[in-house]
Structure 1
Amino acid sequence: MLGLEQERIVRVERCSSRRVVLMVELDDGTARLVKFPDTDTELDNDYERVVLGMLRELDLSPRARQAVPHITACGDGTRAIALDVVKDCDSLRELTQRDPAVDVTHLVNLAAALADLHKAPIAEAYRKYPEWLLHPPVPTNTLLTPYEYACGAGLDFDVYLRVMQQLEPEFQELHAQWRPDTIVHYDLRDDNILFPRGPGSDCPVRLIDWELAGFGDPCYDVGYLVGQFLVESVRRHGDVEALRTARRNARTFLSAYRALTGIPDDTELRILRYAGVALLLQAAMRLQQLGMLTQVGHLCLLYGKRLIADPTPKVIMK
């Protein structure tokens, strides 16, 4: 159903993922990524298939189109999709694990692809899919019922909640400023960003996993990436060089994006606030998964609060 004939398949490899994802290598040297729907009842949908189909209809630049996976076939019976693959890639996570200082070329290519995606006109697509309007992943109201407070996740829930309540005015401001200006990936984690190995690739960066995408503020994607770089320095707290390198990565990426889009100063402050939100989300994830914040979670909470309450560029420009 996906057009992958048995005799053409050289190798099949199961990828690390919550859902069933297979890397299928073919005899002509190409490959396909076959993704099946998530078995989680809340995520069991064809959303990525629809989003990628919509992206194909948008007026994207060649650079932005290269950064987005292309659906080569759909299996209506299995609801699986086959995607084209850029072989021999490293994720941003793998790169930073080997060397925290990310190659400047990679950072500029990432900024350029994201800038082009954010410039794509979406008015017609938004009229067609108004339900795809996203919202900032922070609450506008942090008041809890006694039951919600008593059942809060983890031992440090009261610490986390106190910070969230202190930031409620800033959260309300982010919601008020949120507009469906562009397509937002909404999940640009370091393992969803791929760079090809070796020179000469015609696809300098690939952004994968579009299940959470929708319409929203482009500052969120940019800020989330800046926050990802800062999280790396938090994980190596006490290592001065790690902090310097993380700031250098964030500064290089943000400077390239700013040069390509011409964003004003007030927009950059909103980006830094979303970098703080990314740090808060890291703290929340640790609280939910581990039952406590741990040192890394406490630091993410502290630095995230500082960025949201006082989003000054000196945080990453030092």
Structure 2
Amino acid sequence: MLGLTKDRIVRVERCASRRVVLMVELDDGTARLVKFPDTDTELDNDYERIVLGMLQELELTPRARQAVPQIVGRSAGTRAIALDVVKDCDSLRELIQRDPAVDIRHLVNLAAALADLHKAPIQDAYRKYPEWLLHPPVPTSTLLTPYEYAHGAGLDFDVYLRVMQELEPEFRELHEQWRPDTIVHYDLRDDNILFPRGPEAQCPVRLIDWELAGFGDPCYDVGYLVGQFLVDSVRRHGNGEVLNAARRNARTFLNAYRTLAGIPSDTELRILRYAGVALLLQAAMRLQQLGMLTQVGHLCLLYGKRLIADPTPKVIMK
């Protein structure tokens, strides 16, 4: 795949992942990430290969291009792809675990890379790949069949369902406003955002794992990240320092994106609604995995509902 002889390969390490992912270190100090398709029947696809290939065809700024992994090799037989790697990185999750207040430079660089990606013209790509149109991850209707209601996940399913039904008008509005305006990563979790170490790092931020990406509303990516910062504070509720740091991270990132992307005020309200959606998704995940919301799930449900029903900056400004 890499066009290299075996003596060039110094070490091969399997990464922690549902699919087979190998880190291949080379004798010149560089590395490659070799990713195989997911073996799960429902997930057995080449989505990431297609998305990254499509991104390589787009007119991206140098800053946006650096933020996206590049395909440097592929195997037709195994459908594996080899990606370039920025070594010695910290994920956003690792940074927050070490210090809840993320370095402002990282937040601005992240906002700048996203703003550039969202400005890339995608009209030709969308005509070529119309099936890659995404939709908001919330239902337009929350009416359940008896089967769905009977098989609701966990003891707190009624609580979760009640909140979802109360927000149904807002969910319909999000669907009505959704447009294929740009490439949306759709899974900007804190461990999918990497920051290279060292003052001489040529790549300020790297966004990985593009298998869920497609065409959609850029507000979703931005709002999902704001929601991620708020989830971090909810997980350690009661710690005032962590709460203030999380809100400061969200404010700094959102202000930087607003300035760099030049978004109008009504767009910011949509971003905050998607931040609320990110909190609801966190609550749903806890309900499915644990069978109950627990305190963290209840707080995510409460804050998520507040942001979606009343998307004003006061929630992250306080």
- The two structures have a TM-score, normalised by structure 2, of 0.99
Q: In the alignment, is the contact (CA less than 8 A) between 1:19 and 1:36 conserved in 2?
A: yes
Distance 1:52 1:74 in 2: 12
Give the partner amino acid of 2:144.
L
Give the partner amino acid of 2:47.
Y
Residues 168-317 of structure 1: matches in 2 within 5 Å? 168-317=168-317
- The alpha carbon displacement at 1:4 in A equals 3.8
* Residue 20 of structure 1: aligned partner: 20
Distance 1:5 1:171 in 2: 54
Distance 2:11 2:214 in 1: 34
* Residue 162 of structure 1: aligned partner: 162
- The alpha carbon displacement at 1:252 in A equals 0.3
Distance 1:123 1:5 in 2: 41
Distance 1:26 1:293 in 2: 46
Describe the SS at the equivalent of 2:300. helix
- The two structures have a TM-score, normalised by structure 1, of 0.99
Distance 1:240 1:170 in 2: 31
Distance 1:47 1:267 in 2: 29
Q: In the alignment, is the contact (CA less than 8 A) between 1:2 and 1:75 conserved in 2?
A: no
Distance 2:315 2:298 in 1: 18
Distance 1:183 1:14 in 2: 30
Describe the SS at the equivalent of 1:42. helix
Distance 2:317 2:291 in 1: 34
Distance 1:266 1:185 in 2: 22
* Residue 89 of structure 2: aligned partner: 89
- The alpha carbon displacement at 1:78 in A equals 1.1
Distance 1:2 1:288 in 2: 40
* Residue 149 of structure 2: aligned partner: 149
User: Structure 1, residues 163-204: CA drift from partner, whole Å, max 9, x if none?
Assistant: 000000000000000000000000000000000011111100
| Structure 1 ranges of 4+ moved more than 6 A | none
- The alpha carbon displacement at 1:5 in A equals 2.4
Work out the percentage of aligned pairs sharing the same amino acid: 88
- The alpha carbon displacement at 1:71 in A equals 0.3
Matched residue count: 318
User: Structure 1, residues 201-257: CA drift from partner, whole Å, max 9, x if none?
Assistant: 110000000000000000000000000000000001011111110000000000000
5+ residue gaps, structure 1: none
* Residue 105 of structure 1: aligned partner: 105
Distance 2:291 2:3 in 1: 46
Distance 1:244 1:15 in 2: 34
Q: In the alignment, is the contact (CA less than 8 A) between 1:2 and 1:81 conserved in 2?
A: no
Distance 1:20 1:2 in 2: 17
* Residue 44 of structure 1: aligned partner: 44
- The alpha carbon displacement at 1:50 in A equals 0.5
Describe the SS at the equivalent of 2:83. strand
* Residue 56 of structure 1: aligned partner: 56
Describe the SS at the equivalent of 2:25. strand
Describe the SS at the equivalent of 1:292. coil
User: Structure 1, residues 83-119: CA drift from partner, whole Å, max 9, x if none?
Assistant: 0000000100011011111000000000000000000
* Residue 121 of structure 1: aligned partner: 121
